[in-house]
Structure 1
Amino acid sequence: MNSDGLEQFFHDYANASMAGDPAAIAAFYAESFVAAGPKGSAAFQNDDKFLDWLRQLHDFNQQTGMRAMEVVSVSDSAISEHYILARVGWGAKFEKTGDELISFDISYILYTAPETPKIVAYISHEDQEDQMRQLNLL
């Protein structure tokens, strides 16, 4: 996967996330995947429970006034023939923060052997709720 394709993948992911279509978001993930952040990690199945969680996450983001999410930067390195590590700088805009981009980073491991890449793991560099509390968004 080239850099342009990788950046488009995450732009499409951001658009699906803001649209609130859980099935569209779930299509970016492998059948099972790992999510991690500053407070720990967990393994998940891409199933109905995940779809429910995605709905709840979208509702939470709407309740906190999230207006936009955009890709700020993407860097990548090959792990093996079929896996890449992508570090994505994201920017979110909220009603309370106006046009100010709230920045956060997430690193993703993508399986690239299928026609469409799949997220097999992601690591949030910051804790979303802590960051939102600091900005008085919660």
Structure 2
Amino acid sequence: MRGIQTNDDGSIVVEGAERSLTYTPRLITLDDGTTIAHESQGGELSSVWALDLGGDWFVEVAHLGDGPVGGELVMTVTHIGLDETLRHVAIGDLWAADLPSDVPPSWPVAVDLALGLMEGQVHILGGDITKDDVETLHQRLLGALHG
């Protein structure tokens, strides 16, 4: 299957020519069983991790700040093809259709940073959302936090 596949459970599998990984909002699992998680979730990641999957597939994972749970990971996948470069972004649990009654102050900051990853031609993974939806969420988070 080389490429990106979203599973029914919400996980996202990215497969390059040499390596593959599975993304969930707070855990990355490599094909050799190695896991990547933020420190707050028992992992060793403090900010950014990257891997070349081979065959022109490159993945970057970042912790941009805590969202509703904490330790949420954002994944950017770049595929350099013959005709064009395709970028995909998964924001996981930083996305929420409904806001909880208590919004952590770091959540709108993390969403703002994620929006910065969505410049240009980008496909958002893990749901049927657009950049406009994420911008609207950011404004709702700021409103909930600052009234």
Please state which band the TM-score falls in when normalised by the shorter chain.
Answer: 0.3 to 0.5
TM-score of the two chains, using structure 2 as the length reference: 0.31
Q: Which has the higher strand share?
A: 1
Higher relative contact order (CA 8 A, sep 6+): 1
TM-score of the two chains, using structure 1 as the length reference: 0.32
Q: Which has the higher helix share?
A: 1
